[in-house]
Structure 1
Amino acid sequence: MRVNTVAPGPVSTDMWRVSGGLAEQVAAAMGVDHDTAVDQIIAGAGGFDTGRFTRPEEVADLVLMLASDRAGNIAGADFTIDGGLIKTL
């Protein structure tokens, strides 16, 4: 049996994007607009190497790849998909 894990960082989902979502709540608390709040969240987290949140389809693509025969010999691995938020090699 193969077991791998996927550990996404912030993902651009409705939790962040919708009216009343997390980014809007942070923006209101900071007294800034939505885009400025997102930029400050990214900067406050040490910056993402890609400069943006992960897209949901990127997480899905990683899961599909890991479930495919192309990754048939990968076992016991954890895949972080966070745009470079966690600084590792």
Structure 2
Amino acid sequence: MQERNALHYNRLAERFSWNAWQFNDALHLLREQLPNLSDTQRLGVLAGELARQATLISCLDFFRLEVWIALALAGCLLALRASD
């Protein structure tokens, strides 16, 4: 799961730059919603959200793998019952 988290973090971090319109839109939205924060604090909020999203996606990957394993085991059980 750590490997997937690092992979997703790197992929999400590619858009975490001043050149990305999504980043600038998020920063502009934070300026409107949280006017009392400095730009450094707003960047910290975005960095925390980046880490949270990477963790969420890697957890979804892990649970998707668990579902496939459970389906494979259920198929094996059904095949064993059918053969008896």
Q: TM-score scaled by structure 2?
A: 0.33
- The structure that has the greater radius of gyration is 2
Greater relative contact order: 1 or 2 (C-alpha under 8 angstroms, separation 6 or more)? Answer: 1
As a proportion of its length, which structure holds more strand? 1
TM-score normalised by L of structure 1:
0.32
